[in-house]
Amino acid sequence: MKKILQTSLVLVASLAVLYGCSHGPYATTNKMYKTQAKDIAKTIGATPVPNNFDSVPAAAQWVGTTNFNMRKPNFVIIHHTAQNSCEQTLKTFTVTHSQVSAHYVICKDGTVHHMLNDYLRAWQAGNSRWGNVTDINSVSIGIEIDNNGFEKFTDEQINSLLHLLSGLKKSYGIPAANFIGHADIAPTRKNDPNVTFPWKTLADKGFGLWYNDTTNVAVPENFNSIEALRIVGYDVRDTSATIRSFKRHFMQQDTSKVLNEEDKKVLFQLYRKYMQ
């Protein structure tokens, strides 16, 4: 077990030295990263202490398991930055008062900033939900794409994103259905990535689900659209907001908060895929 623990400590401690010798404009915040990573390494390396629950007898001797490793992410959440430049976003993520962060930032020229180790918890999802998961920050990787919220994403950004997603999926075994947007998990608060985001392109590569041709699709009369949205993963407590987020993602428009017949065909196909 000692060897396994040492391996885990080395992994976390290596985060601390990643930018420890920087001398650029982020030297100060990189030093803060290093300090926080060291603190996490100390926490992981500490011997577990007995929980002092009432009426629960504690063992006289600690016994540590030999079977463990680092927790791994199971979702990827895609955002647009809603800011005017990559540099502005980097600054936002390196000031403590912003209280927001992400694992990756992709600039317009395709440059990728890996700002936080994938095993650590970024503050990117906020108050959100997908299916039964209510603490999405603890199980996800956040990717921010430099975009003010209204413009198209550049070819360079999407190319870098596809390469990044391929690596993440391979490294962590993330299911295709678990590549989703910020608006999907927070329909009452968020609208990113914007409606120009190429979700179908991602789905064709295995990052997210998509629907097939709906020409001959017949939706059953008893089909419950709201229940289908819930099964797909959406929080349906505010149905209007949920429908809007669904249409932004899959219909690539958000002019209506009502499902029309074509929307229902798409939803019915997705519902069946999520049920498989």
Backbone φ, ψ for residue 115 (5° rounding): -90, -20
Round to whole Å and give the CA distance between 46 and 61: 15
Q: What is the pLDDT of residue 52?
A: 62
Please write the tens of the pLDDT for every residue from 23-45. 788 999 999 999 999 999 999 88
Same domain, 154 and 190: yes
Same domain, 230 and 200: no
Same domain, 192 and 232: no
Average pLDDT, the chain: 91
Same domain, 112 and 190: yes
For range 47-66, the mean pLDDT: 78
Q: What is the pLDDT of residue 51?
A: 66
User: Which helix (H) or strand (E) element contains residue 243?
Assistant: helix 239-250
Is residue 221 among the annotated active site residues?
A: no
Domain CATH code at residue 132:
3.40.80.10
Active-site choice (144, 151, 221, 262): 144
Identify whether 131 is part of a domain.
Answer: yes
Same domain, 105 and 136: yes
Please state the three-class secondary structure of 121-152 as a single string.
Answer: CCCCCCCCCECCECCHHHHEEEEEECCCCCCC
Q: What is the pLDDT of residue 11?
A: 53
Angle ∠(134,72,12) on CA atoms, nearest 5: 115
Q: Which structure tokens are listed for 68?
A: 């463990």
Domain of residue 231 covers 225-275
Please write the tens of the pLDDT for every residue from 193-218. 999 999 999 999 999 999 999 999 99
Same domain, 80 and 200: yes
Identify whether 51 is part of a domain.
Answer: no
Identify whether 54 is part of a domain.
Answer: no
**Residue 95 pLDDT greater than 90, yes or no:** yes
Round to whole Å and give the CA distance between 274 and 276: 5
Measuring CA to CA, how many Å separate 246 from each of 13, 62, 98, 187? Answer: 41, 50, 29, 9
Same domain, 40 and 116: no
For the chain, the domain total comes to 3
pTM value is 0.89
Angle between helices 261-275 and 239-250 (to 10 degrees): 90
